[in-house]
Amino acid sequence: MNSVMQKRVVIAVVVVAVLAVAALVARQWLAERHASQQLPVNTRMGGDFILPSTQGRPLDTRTLRGKVVLLNFGFASCPDVCPLVLARMKAAVKALGDDAASVQGVFVSFDPARDTVANLKVYVEHFHPGFIGATGSEAEIAAVAARYGVVYLKENTGSASGYGFAHSDYIYLIDAEGHVRKLYGGDAKTDEIARDIRLLQAADHPLF
């Protein structure tokens, strides 16, 4: 092969490589744009926190960077709402298949008197072995709940447990950088949650 032909081959290879990189960059840009349009960052709520957790060490949400997080607040003796919400979170994670490895479920209890870390561990792992349970002092929980706009009110239920909580039941979708991107109410479907997680995964993980 003469030198002219060699130069042409090199140029062709370089052009193909540049076009391939450009295509990847374009795909990544489109994925990020689509995610930002469909799931805009919620600037009114959210933020990092540190609470005692079922991991055997305090949960520092900054250590969850790089993962999509499904966050919920409730209490383990909740008779109906909390089990349904956690079951929905479990189903959404399961629907992701292999992509579930980059998703973390977190359940924060606002009933520290009964939901010790040990009790909470049994409770959350009943739904999913990878879910993290967290709690803390009443002041700590109130501060975190306020950041996320969580409403909860202790009430006398007249049951054997003595009291319960009337509370909001949102699931918070948090991206890999720690920003709240969406809230799911009680009518949210599992496939909607899984679809949104995939959308964030496509935007949050570079293609090269």
- Model pLDDT, residue 24: 46
> Which CATH number fits the domain 50-204, given the four candidates 1.10.10.350, 3.40.50.720, 3.40.50.300, 3.40.30.10?
3.40.30.10
Mean predicted confidence (pLDDT) in 76-80: 94
- Model pLDDT, residue 38: 87
Whole-prediction pTM? 0.82
Residues for the chain: how many in total? 208
Mean predicted confidence (pLDDT) in 40-59: 97
Percent of the chain topping pLDDT 70? 80
Give the residue extent of every domain in the chain.
Answer: 50-204
174 or 1, greater pLDDT: 174
- Model pLDDT, residue 49: 98
- Model pLDDT, residue 154: 94
Mean predicted confidence (pLDDT) in 58-67: 98
Question: Could you report the per-residue pLDDT of 109-140, keeping only the tens digit for each?
Answer: 999 999 999 999 999 999 999 999 999 999 99
Mean predicted confidence (pLDDT) in 56-64: 97
Contact between 159 and 58 (Cβ < 8 Å): no
- Model pLDDT, residue 16: 53
Helices and strands in the chain: count of H runs, count of E runs: 5, 9
Out of 3-7, 57-61, 84-88, 145-149, which region has the weakest mean confidence (pLDDT)?
Answer: 3-7
Both tokens of 14, joined, read: 């370089």
Question: Could you report the per-residue pLDDT of 137-184, keeping only the tens digit for each?
Answer: 999 999 999 999 999 999 988 777 789 999 999 999 999 999 999 999
- Model pLDDT, residue 2: 63
* pLDDT over 80 (residue 27): no
SS3 string, 68-96, reads EEEEEEECCCCCCHHHHHHHHHHHHHHHC
Q: Give the Cα separation of 96 and 196 in Å (integer).
A: 11
CA distance to 50, 82, 201, per residue, from 137 (Å): 12, 20, 34
Mean predicted confidence (pLDDT) in 7-12: 59
- Average pLDDT taken over every residue of the chain: 87
Mean predicted confidence (pLDDT) in 201-207: 72
* pLDDT over 50 (residue 20): no
